[in-house]
Amino acid sequence: MIPDAYYENIHKIDYSKLKKIGVKNIFFDIDNTVIPYKVTNIDKKTLKLFKDLKKDFNVFLFSNSRRKRVMTIAKELKVNAYYLSMKPFKKNYKKIINMFNKNECIFVGDQFMTDVFGAKKNRLKVIFVNRFNDNEPLTTRFWRLIEKQYLKKYKKLQVFELNSYYDRLK
């Protein structure tokens, strides 16, 4: 269960490749993926990225955060959003799978236990990105402890290593 691609951040992702391989719907995690946790104002570069992405894709936010935070960010970015998504649990992925063609969807996030495993368990494509910082809520810090163990194992198996970027999407 390793990501299909790994980029330093959302700005580095090869979106033209996503378009080429038939991706139509991109689902972004918010916290520490699009913006740092607790931040609500979005920088110009990110606003521009989303504006550009909307020309080629349906763009969504797919976050475990609460409604108020998610909808505030969604309004700023002018995209639709899923809040309280309960990643990695199946319920909300199922909603998406029922609505869209699986092969045309891709998920982007900064956490293995929620973003990557959630998508992979549902056989969905996922891109992993580095988190902004370590300022995270208690639940995330708990997930990070388990993530650390996985990353150790993956490094040993030589299947994934932090800061070794790759893209195996096809």
Residue ranges in contact with Mg ion by CB under 5 A: 29, 31-33, 110
Minimal distance in Å, beta carbon 107 to Mg ion?
11
- Output the six-digit token pair for 94: 């199922």
Residue 43 CB, shortest distance to Mg ion, in Å, is 17
61: number of CA atoms within 13 Å, CB side? Answer: 27
Give the integer Cα–Cα distance in Å for 141 and 134: 8
Task: Report the nearest approach of Mg ion to the CB of residue 2 (Å).
Answer: 17
Q: Where are the beta strands (DSSP E) in 42-146?
A: 58-62, 80-82, 105-109, 125-129
Q: Which is nearer to Mg ion, 33 or 92 (CB)?
A: 33
Tokens of 133: 């910082």
Q: How far is the CB of 14 from Mg ion (least distance, A)?
A: 21
Smallest distance from Mg ion to CB 33, Å:
5
Q: In the chain, what are the helix, strand and coil shares in percent, each to the nearest 5? A: 40, 15, 40
Closest to Mg ion by CB, 18 vs 30, is 30
Report the alpha-carbon distance of residue 55 to residue 35 in Å, rounded. Answer: 21
- C-beta closer to Mg ion: residue 4 or 110: 110
Neighbours of 12 (CB within 10 A): 12
